[in-house]
Amino acid sequence: MKYIFTLVFCLVGMVSFAQQATEDENGRPIGAKPAVVVSSEDSDIYLRQSKEKSSSATVLIEYSLPFGKSGGKLVLFHPKKDEELKTIAISGNHGSVTVDIKEIGFSGFNAGLYLTDNTFIKSQSFYSAD
Nearest CA to 47 out of 76, 22, 19 is that of: 76
CA distance 28 to 3: 42
- Kindly list the strands in the beta sheet with 71-77, ordered across the sheet, starting from the edge strand earlier in the chain: 84-91, 71-77, 108-115, 120-127
**33 or 98, higher pLDDT:** 98
- Looking at residue 130, its pLDDT comes to 60
DSSP tag of 56: T
Q: Mind listing the pLDDT tens digit for each residue in 3-41?
A: 887 888 777 776 666 666 667 666 677 777 666 655 555
Q: What is the per-residue pLDDT for 1?
A: 82
Tell me the average pLDDT of the chain.
Answer: 81
* Domains parsed from the chain with CATH numbers: 45-127 (2.60.40.10)
DSSP state of 45: -
Distance between CA atoms of 96 and 20, rounded to whole angstroms?
53
Distance CA 125, CA 92 (A): 22
